[in-house]
Structure 1
Amino acid sequence: MTISSDADVVRVRQLVRSTAVTIALSLVDQTKLVTAASELARNTLVYGGGGNAEVAILDGGRRKGIRIVFADQGPGIADLDLALTDGYTSGGGLGLGLGGARRLVDEFEVDSGAGRGTRVVITKWARSG
């Protein structure tokens, strides 16, 4: 899914929510995942100049999950350690920053550097029980 406008950020959020319902994530986990995805989609648009998001359902055997990959070809994150610091935000997003988004999901990977864009992969697993 392309992210090139505010409307695309809304569409990403809607797709993530409907996918979370499909795999029976709890309401709390749906909210966490949608919040993280919204922040990352907004970052892709605002800081990366647009990019794309790929949403996939994972089947881990006894549990299902959702993996979302956000990628852009923007300027990248010059200081990734700072960007991942709790409470750090450069403005414009939900105020969560990357650190906040990381806390809302089960798995979080980021690959970025000045001048080479950013790729963030998040995964949320359905709780068994």
Structure 2
Amino acid sequence: MTAGLDVGAPQAQSIASDQDVVRVRQMVRTVAVAVKLSLVDQTKLVTAASELARNTLVYGGGGEVLVSIVENGRRRGVRIVFTDKGPGIADLDLALTDGYTTGGGLGLGLSGARRLVDEFDIETAAGKGTRVTVTKWSR
């Protein structure tokens, strides 16, 4: 799947199965390498993306991800947007609390994913789903 990936263009992937979570990991790794993130930052970003993709599948009932290369004038980075149309997060403050988990994921939760990236934004509404945007910048 990633062999012919045009990393310069935004990459979209549906998340409807465990295999899709694996595809998201591969796609994020490929783009992170293209942006020249350090190995440590690649690992952090792939780990966060894996957790967020799993959350999209398990709690959001599936959704999609968009992976893009971004620039801020001085450096390049990878921006990843996860979107689902699930039930939303009832208690966002609780969900962002360190150590909070409902089980089944890597045990990082949203707070762990937030610590692994440089920018983290979440929008959620009951019955309307959740959108999580993360960015990791090259050093």
Range into which the TM-score falls when normalised by the shorter chain: over 0.9
The secondary structure found in structure 2 opposite 1:57 is: strand
The ranges of structure 1 where at least 4 consecutive aligned residues each deviate by more than 3 angstroms after the TM superposition are: none
TM-aligned CA deviation for residue 113 of structure 1: 2.2
Q: Aligned-pair RMSD on alpha carbons?
A: 0.5
Q: Which residue of structure 2 aligns with residue 66 of structure 1?
A: 78
Instruction: Describe the SS at the equivalent of 2:65.
Output: strand
Q: TM-score, normalised by structure 2?
A: 0.90
Using the TM superposition, give the Cα deviation of residue 62 of structure 1 relative to its aligned residue in structure 2, in angstroms. Answer: 1.5
d(CA) in 2 for partners of 1:62, 1:109: 22
1:23-82: per-residue Cα shift (whole Å, max 9, x none)? 100000000000000000000000000000000000212200000000000001000000
Residue of structure 1 aligned with 2:65, choices 30, 53, 61: 53
Structure 1 stretch displaced more, 73-82 or 58-67: 58-67
Match for residue 27 of structure 2 among 6, 15, 40 = 15
Unaligned runs of 5+ in 1: none
- The one of 46, 62, 74 aligned to 1:34: 46
What is the match of residue 2 of structure 1? 14
Whole-Å separation in 2 of the counterparts to 1:73 and 1:93: 19
Identity of aligned residues (%): 75
Matched residue pairs, number?
127
Q: Which residue of 2 aligns with 1:88?
A: 100
Query: How many Å separate the matches in 2 of 1:61 and 1:114?
Result: 37
| Structure 2: 5+ residue stretches without partners | 1-12
Counterpart code for 2:119: E
